[in-house]
Structure 1
Amino acid sequence: MDFIDSLDVQLEKEFYYPGETINGVVLLSTIANVKIRGIFVTLRGKVQVQWKVVRNGAVYTVRNCHILIDHKQTVYGPDTSDVTSDLPVLKKGIHKIRFNFLLNDTELPSSFESKLGTIRYLLQTSVDIPYASPPQNVKHFSVIGKQQERPPHEWLVPITLERHNQNMCMACSHGSLSLEVALNRTAFCCGENMPLRLEIVNGINLKVWPVIQLIQKVDYCVDKTGFGIRKDVVHTVWEYKGPTVPKQSTMKLENLSQVLQVPVMPPTTSTCDIIRIEYKLKVSIVTLKWGEPLHIAFPILITPFYQKEDNTKTVLKPAIAEVEGGNYISPELQCGAVYDGTDGEAWETTLYQPVYVCVPNKGVVMKTPSTPEIIHQQTHSNDRKSVTTEIEVSESRVSSL
C-alpha cells in the first residue's frame, strides 16, 4: 500500500437493527506524509444467489443479484471531482476518522450465509491516492431483520388442530386413528421451548408413536417471472420420537416443552424475493410397517422478537450447523495459514459469521437428520401429491381458540 501502513474500520458493535445509526472509525496509519484525493466509505447491502445447472450437456452458471443499500460518503478530503485543486496532505502517523450511516427503517432481511446464496451488509473503505495503488478495506456486520417489533396477532393466538382417519385397514386391523395438536402460539424466538400438547387416540390393533419434526425450507430464486429457475433446500432441524401408544388406547402428552426447543437459526424471511426462509412443525403418527398414516403440518414463525415478564436478556449467536445458513462459511470470510508440510497444524480464523437473536437457555439435545433434501424446479408450481393424509395450514388459515 506504498505509504499506507495499515487501514482498518472499527464499529461500535457487530450487529444493527433497521433504523439504527452505524457509528464507526477509520483507523489509518501512514509511514510518511502522503497526498490523497479523499477517503471514502460505502455502505452496501446485497442479496445474491448463484449455482450451476446442466443443459444439453453444457454447464451454465445462473445468478441473481439485488442491491438493498448503496450509500457512499466522503469522510476526509474535498467532496469534489476537481483534480486541479490542491490535494490535502495526510501527515505521518495514526489517524482516526469518524463516520456514521443511518440504516433505512425498511423491511431489510436478516444477514444470511450459505453456499447457494448470501444476504450481506458491509462497509467498504478506500483511500484515493493519485500516484499509487488505492488501499481498500471491507468490514462485514450483521443486520437483524425488521421483526424486532411484536409479531402479527395471528401468530400469537393459541391453535388447536385435529385430524381423524376412520375405517383404516392395515393387514385386517380395522379401526381409526385420531390426532389432536395444541399450541399456545406459533411465533418463537431462538432458544425458546415449544409448549406443544398432543392427544392420540389409537383405535387400531397396532402400536403407534408420535414423531415431531421442525423443518426448514429455503427457496432460492434466480427469476420470479413465473418461468425462472428455482432451487429449494429442505433441512430437518431436529426430530423427536415420542413414547409408544399401545393398541386400542389413548395417550396425552403435556410436558413436551421440556424436550422441544428452537435452536439458533436464521429467522423467517418473507420480504426478500430472491431468498425466502420458511419453517413448519410437522407432527406425525408412525407405525412400524405402514409409515405415516396421519400427520399435521403448520407454519412456524421464527422471529428476533422476545417478550417475557422476567428480565431475561437475549444474546447473539451464530446458527447451528444443521440448518441452511449455519453449515457453510465462504472462503473469502476465512483467513488461515497455508500448510507447509511440517508437523504443525494450519490455523484458520473466521473473519465474519452472521449472528441471530437467541434466548439464553439450557440446550436440549435433539436428534437431527443431517442430509438435506434439495428440490430443483424450473417453474414456480409447487403442487405435490402425497399418499398419506395431511393438513397444511397456511398463515391465513390457522384456526384459533
Structure 2
Amino acid sequence: MPSLQDFNVTFDDNKSIFSPGETLEGKIEITLTESMEMKEIRVKVTGKAHVGWHEQHGKVHVYHYNNQDLMEQNITVYGVGTAENMTLSVGSHSFPFSCTLPAPLPSSYEDKIGYIRYYVKATIVRPWKFDHNTKSMITILDILDLNKEQNMMAPSSGKENKYLCCLCCKSGPIQGEITTDRTGYVPGEWVIVNVKVNNKSGSKVQKTSIEIMKIVKYRAKMKSKTVKYSMQQVFGSHCDSKKSTSFDNIKIQIPALPPTENTHCKIIDINYAVMIHGHLRLCAIDLRGMAPIVIGSVPIRSLPMYSGQQDPQVQPAPSAYPSLPDSSATVIENTTASSYATTTTSVLPTSFGFQVPPPSYMDATEGNFDVKDDKYTRGDTTYTPKYTFYDWNQTAFTYNK
C-alpha cells in the first residue's frame, strides 16, 4: 500500500475564482500511512499562455506554436531554512500558503488551439526518489469595467456586399446590414439586433441567422491565425431572388464568455461581433456582415435595469445566484452554445456602486479541456473556466430607449 494516501491543494472558502491583485490563500493537505522522508514541500503558482496548431503543406508537416509566461511564484511550506532531510510522521497534515496575484493578468481561457491557464502545483521533494506532485486549477477573471470604456452605449453596425459569379457572369449584389442597440455588454444581457437583407442576385438566400461571434487571433512565433467561433445563434427566414427582408428588435443572449482581451496577453487576442449570416447555395461563399461589440465583466451603470429607472414591476429577478459568499479566418460553429451550466462558486467581493444583481458564475460554453501533466501528477486532469454571468431574463430588455 502506498504511504501517500492523500495529497491535495485546497483553497480557503472553497474559492477557485480570483481576480488580478487578489490574495490567494489555501492549504496543502497530506495524509500518510507511513512516515516519509523528504527535503521540502513547495508550492508553485503558475500562469502561462500557449498557442499551437498543425499545418500540412504537401508532404511537409509544420507545427506553429508560441508560449508566454504570465506569472510564477514559489513558496516553501515545509522544510524552510534547513539543509537536512525532514521526516513527516504518519497521519494527516495541513500546510497553509498564501500569495498575492500580480496585476494585470488576462482572464483564463481554453480552446483547442490555445489557452491562458493558471494553476497551483504542490511538490513533495524526496531525496533519491521520484517527487510527488498534485495540481489544482484556478480561474482568473480580469475586470473589464464597461463604464471606463469609450462609446459603449453607441450602436454598432456592419455590412457586407456579396457578389455571386456563374462562369463569366456576375450576379448581385446580396447586401446584408446589421445594427445592435449598443456596443458594450456583459454575459447574461441580451443584444437587440436589427437586420436588413437586400437580395439583388439571381439566387435565393436559403436562410439567415444572427450569431454572436468570438474572434480569436493566435500569434505563433512565425505565423498568426484568426478563427471565428459561433457562440450563440438564432435563425430567420430565407430571402428570395430580387427580394428584400428585414428583422427588427431580434434579441439574442450573451452566453458565459471571457471579457474582450487585447491588452494583457501577447499571443492571444479575444474579440466579439454580432453577425448577419446569409446562407447561400453550396458552391457559394456565404454572406457575413459583422457588427463589433465589447464583452466586459462590469455592466454599464446608466442602463435602466441597473440605474433603477425602469418600472419595478418589470424588473427581472436573477434566477441563478451563487449559493456561497480577418476575412480569411476559419469559421467554427458551436452547436452546444445554449447548454452551459450554472456553478455555485463564491462571488468575488465586488462593489459596483449601483443597482445590479449579484453575478453568478457559469461554465464556459466550450466544455472540459484536458490539463493533465502526466499520469503521475495527482489532482485536476480536466478543467472548465468559469465566467461572470448576470442572469437577467428577457423582460429586462423591453425598455424604451
1:264 aligns to what?
A: 256
CA distance in 2, matches of 1:56, 1:207: 37
Q: Which residue does the alignment assign to 1:32?
A: 34
The equivalent of 2:141 in structure 1 is 144
* Contact kept? 2:187, 2:388, Cα under 8 Å: yes
Inter-partner Cα distance in structure 1 for 2:384 and 2:286: 41
Other-structure match for 2:318: none
Q: Is the 8 A contact 1:284 1:292 kept in 2?
A: no
CA displacement, residues 136-189 of structure 1 (integer Å, 9 cap, x when unaligned): 111111111242564512233345678999xxxxxxxxx999877543321222
Correspondence for 2:358:
313
CA distance in structure 2 between the partners assigned to 1:204 and 1:53 by the alignment = 36
Give 2:297's aligned residue.
Answer: 304
Distance in 2 (CA, whole Å) between partners of 1:251 and 1:52 is 42
Structure 2 counterparts to residues 316-335 of structure 1, below 5 A: 316-321=361-366, 326=367, 329-330=369-370, 332=372
- SS of the residue corresponding to residue 270 of structure 2 reads strand
Determine helix, strand or coil for the equivalent of 1:100: strand
CA deviation digits over 1:312-369, x for unaligned, max 9?
Answer: 2222122224xxxx4x62272899xxxxxxxxxxxxx974211111222569xxxxxx
Distance change (3 Å), C-alpha of 1:132 and 1:57:
same
Q: Which residue of 2 aligns with 1:278?
A: 271
Matched, 1:112 2:142: no
Equivalent position amino acid for 2:256 in 1: V
Following superposition, the deviation at residue 37 of structure 1 comes to 2.2
Corresponding residue for residue 388 of structure 2: 357
Residues in 1 aligned to 2:122 and 2:141: alpha-carbon distance in whole angstroms: 23
Q: Which amino acid aligns with 1:317?
A: M
Counterpart amino acid of residue 152 in structure 1: E
- Given the alignment, which residue of 230, 246, 271 partners 2:224? 230
> Is the CA contact (8 Å cut-off) linking 1:151 and 1:303 kept in structure 2?
no
TM-score by length of 1: 0.67
Greater CA drift, 7-16 or 195-204: 195-204
Over residues 38-93 of structure 1, what are the superposed CA-to-partner deviations in whole Å (9 max), with x where a residue is unaligned? 2110011111122223356243433211110011011122246xx3xx44442322
Give the alignment partner of residue 218 of structure 2, picking from 214, 217, 220: 220
Q: Which amino acid in structure 2 is aligned with residue 46 of structure 1? A: K
User: Which residue number corresponds to residue 24 of structure 2?
Assistant: 22
SS class of match (2:191): coil
Relative to structure 1, the CA distance from residue 38 to residue 333 in structure 2 (aligned partners, 3 Å threshold; closer, same or farther) is closer
What is the SS of the residue equivalent to 1:69? strand
Alignment of 1:142-291 (within 5 A): 142-147=139-144, 150-159=147-156, 181-198=178-195, 211-223=209-221, 228-242=222-236, 253-257=247-251, 260-271=252-263, 272-283=265-276
SS in 2 for 1:256: strand
Query: Counterparts of 1:205 and 1:116 in 2: how far apart (Å)?
Result: 39
* 1: CA distance, partners of 2:281 / 2:128: 76
**1:9, 1:25 within 8 Å by CA — same for their partners in 2?**
yes
1:125 corresponds to which of 122, 126, 151: 122
Quote how far apart the aligned CAs of 1:119 are.
Answer: 1.4
Cα distance in 1 between the residues matched to 2:217 and 2:282: 33
Q: Secondary structure at the match of 1:217?
A: strand
Residue 361 of structure 2 aligns with an amino acid whose one-letter code is L
Q: What CA distance in whole angstroms lies between the structure 2 residues aligned with 1:293 and 1:69?
A: 42
Distance change (3 Å), C-alpha of 1:235 and 1:103: same
Q: 1:70 to 1:149 in 2, by over 3 A?
A: farther
Deviation (angstroms), 1:277 = 1.9
**Cα distance 1:178–1:334, how it changes in 2: closer, same or farther (>3 A)?**
same
Q: How far apart are the structure 2 equivalents of 1:40 and 1:289? A: 58
Contact 1:48–1:119, Cα closer than 8 Å, also in 2: yes
- In the aligned structure 1, how far is the partner of 2:228 from the partner of 2:243? 35
When residues 296 and 362 of structure 1 are mapped into structure 2, their CA distance, relative to the original with a 3 A threshold, is same
Aligned with 1:69 (options 68, 71, 74)? 71
1:185-239 Cα shifts (integer Å, max 9, x gaps): 212222211122456789999998864232222222212xxxx222332223344
Counterpart contact for 1:268–1:279, Cα < 8 Å: yes
Give, in whole Å, the separation in 2 of the partners of 1:290 and 1:52. Answer: 27
Structure 2 CA distance, aligned partners of 1:59 and 1:233?
20
In structure 2, relative to structure 1, the CA distance for the partners of 1:202 and 1:162 (3 Å cut) is same
Shift in Å at residue 23 of structure 1? 0.7
Partner-residue secondary structure (3-state), 1:154: coil
**In percent, how many aligned pairs have the same letter?**
23
Q: Which structure: larger Rg?
A: 1
Residue type at the aligned position of 2:291? F
Stretches of structure 1 that go unaligned for 5 or more consecutive residues are 166-174, 336-348, 364-400
Q: 1:54 to 1:289 in 2, by over 3 A?
A: closer
